[in-house]
Amino acid sequence: MIETATTTDKLNKFEKFKAEKDGLAVKNEIENFAQIGWEGMDENDLNHRLKWLGVFFRPVTPGKFMMRVRLPNGILNSNQMSAFAEVVQRYGENGSADITTRQNIQLRGINLADIPDIFNKFHKVGLTTIQSGMDNVRNITGDPVAGLDADEFYDTRELVQQIQDMLTNNGEGNPEFSNLPRKFNIAITGGRDNSVHAEINDLAFIPAFWGNEDQVPIFGFNVIVGGLFSAKRCEAAIPLNVWVLPAQVVLLSKVIVEIFRDHGLRANRLKARLMWLLDEWGIEKFRAEVEKRFGQSLLPAVDKDQIDWEKRDHVGIYKQKQSGFNYAGLNIPVGRLSADDMFEIARLSEVYGSGEIRFTVEQNIIIPNIPDSSLTAFFTESVLEKFSVNPGLLMRSLVSCTGAQFCNFALIETKNRALAMIKSLESELTLSRPVRIHWTGCPNSCGQPQVADIGLMGTKVRKNGQMLEGVDIYMGGTVGKDAHLGTCVKKSIPCEDLQPILRDLLIHKFGAKLK
């Protein structure tokens, strides 16, 4: 069972403050916080508990908060996008938004005094920010083209929503799952190309058919567990040796999160993710506990899963399974959006599509349901000059975490530097294929450098007696059918020396040519 205040001696400081007062408790205090201002708040409420509501104090920009919502499967509508735009618009130059590596969005520049209003606004358009940070289950990812892709095995949208509803009490907040030992990531993929990086989640569901050649195959999922990136350790998820029907996915998720809640390690925060519990227990004991709580015997995993495609990035115009309709994948450089950009995207989705918008884990946008007859007009929209459907082969795959502009863990500035470097490299080189370059500002790996062709992880470097911003270079990350984590191949490159090194790597390893 969850360790309580009486056993807090062996607990880390986060466990102690959680035992004193649950993170979700601040839900009832938000009006009061808005009145007293952040300077008057208790430190743990300000720095930590607010994150249970998706509100993040930013020590880098004190008084200008970040808000992280939840967008199950990365899907939203134009009203929700406009609500985001209206929120950041009121902060002028300070307001902006970032699409995240979990198909989600974060808004910036927010004043504490405005948060009750913003919550009301979000409530009206069906948005929640609840349990999106700290020791909670994060935004649940699913196929970005679920329900549009003619080749998918399963439309993940409903299951992802059901898991979120179960874990968050329909977005109102669920104390049953608000005190996990650490964060927990869940992903479901129903397509052929593992579009959500299933292997880097604590729990993921991968399409697989049950039955031998003589039987009618039954659709379900193989289950993998324990994937994580952290400063201490990075691991791909391992098989739980369980296969479930879609109808069993929500209960299995509940049971696994409960086991993590009740038995996950809480003494050392660096070792509190699920994989550390799997190490301690072994996968057999963990599986037995899952089966016990599930209440019926679980089938073993199927040998061959259905991930047999290279990963698609969805940038461009693609036919949907609905005849006569297309989805447009827009490249959003490093995921950054202004208020005007968001109004524009909302408008595009209404004028040309069905008002629906989707995010990808590559921090890009998909606008579905564009009829063939509207494509010519769609191409004339000037916003496509900024958010191209046919960007350069480096820009289209560029991913970057937040970095030093807003994140106090950052060792380097990421987004602006990443953009400038890609622009210069594209002006020097001709490429024949996309190369996936991921930037991350520190070893926490939010920008997932280990899944990239070239991953760049921020570090500090000494050069000529000076401390400079630098990177460690990761390579060998593969995605899609043979997903495999990349490893560090070169350490401590000052950022000021990086561009020629990247140019050489692109020429010698990825077939780029000098212009």
Catalytic residue among 447, 455, 470, 477: 447
Please identify, using beta-carbon distances, which residue of 23 and 220 lies nearer to ligand SRM. 23
Does 253 bind ligand SF4 (CB under 6 A)? Our answer is no
Q: How far is CA 493 from the centre of its chain?
A: 27
Please identify, using beta-carbon distances, which residue of 101 and 189 lies nearer to ligand SF4. 101
Please state the φ and ψ torsions of residue 60, each to the nearest 5 degrees. Answer: -70, -30
Binding test (CB under 6 A) with ligand SRM, winner from 67, 115, 167, 407: 407
Does 444 bind ligand SF4 (CB under 6 A)? Our answer is yes
Site for ligand SF4 in 447-466 (CB under 6 A): 447
Helix then strand count (H, E) for the chain reads: 14, 23
228, interface contact from ligand SRM, ligand SF4, none, CB < 5-8 Å by kind: ligand SRM
Site string for ligand SRM, 60-99 (x = CB under 6 A): ------x-x-----------------------------x-
Cβ of residue 388: shortest distance to ligand SF4, in angstroms?
A: 25
Indicate if 68 belongs to the active site. yes
Binding test (CB under 6 A) with ligand SF4, winner from 401, 429, 485, 495: 401
Catalytic residue among 182, 266, 312, 417: 182
Indicate if 446 belongs to the active site. yes
- H helix or E strand, kind and range, residue 417: helix 415-428
Rounded to whole angstroms, the Cα distance separating 249 from 301 reads 14
Does 450 bind ligand SRM (CB under 6 A)? Our answer is no
Please identify, using beta-carbon distances, which residue of 270 and 377 lies nearer to ligand SF4. 270
Binding test (CB under 6 A) with ligand SF4, winner from 440, 448, 450, 459: 440
Binding test (CB under 6 A) with ligand SRM, winner from 80, 174, 369, 445: 445
With a CB cutoff of 8 Å and minimum separation 6, the contacts of 398 are 333, 334, 418, 419, 422, 437, 438, 439
Indicate if 182 belongs to the active site. yes
**HSE value, Cβ hemisphere, 13 Å, CA-based, for 514:** 3
Rounded to whole angstroms, the Cα distance separating 76 from 348 reads 14
For 144-192, give the secondary structure using H, E and C.
Answer: CCCCCCCCCCCCCHHHHHHHHHHHHCCCCCCHHHCCCCCCECEEECCCC
Catalytic residue among 133, 441, 470, 486: 441
Rounded to whole angstroms, the Cα distance separating 347 from 155 reads 26
332 DSSP 8-state letter = -
In angstroms, the Cα distances linking 53 to 64, 66, 118, 135, 207 are 16, 11, 12, 12, 33
Task: Note the residues at the interface with ligand SRM (CB under 6 A).
Answer: 56, 58, 66, 68, 98, 100-102, 104, 106, 133, 138-139, 182-183, 185, 200, 228-231, 273, 401-402, 406-409, 444-446, 448
Task: Note the residues at the interface with ligand SF4 (CB under 6 A).
Answer: 401-403, 407, 409-410, 440-442, 444-447
Residues annotated as part of the active site = 68, 182-183, 441, 446-447
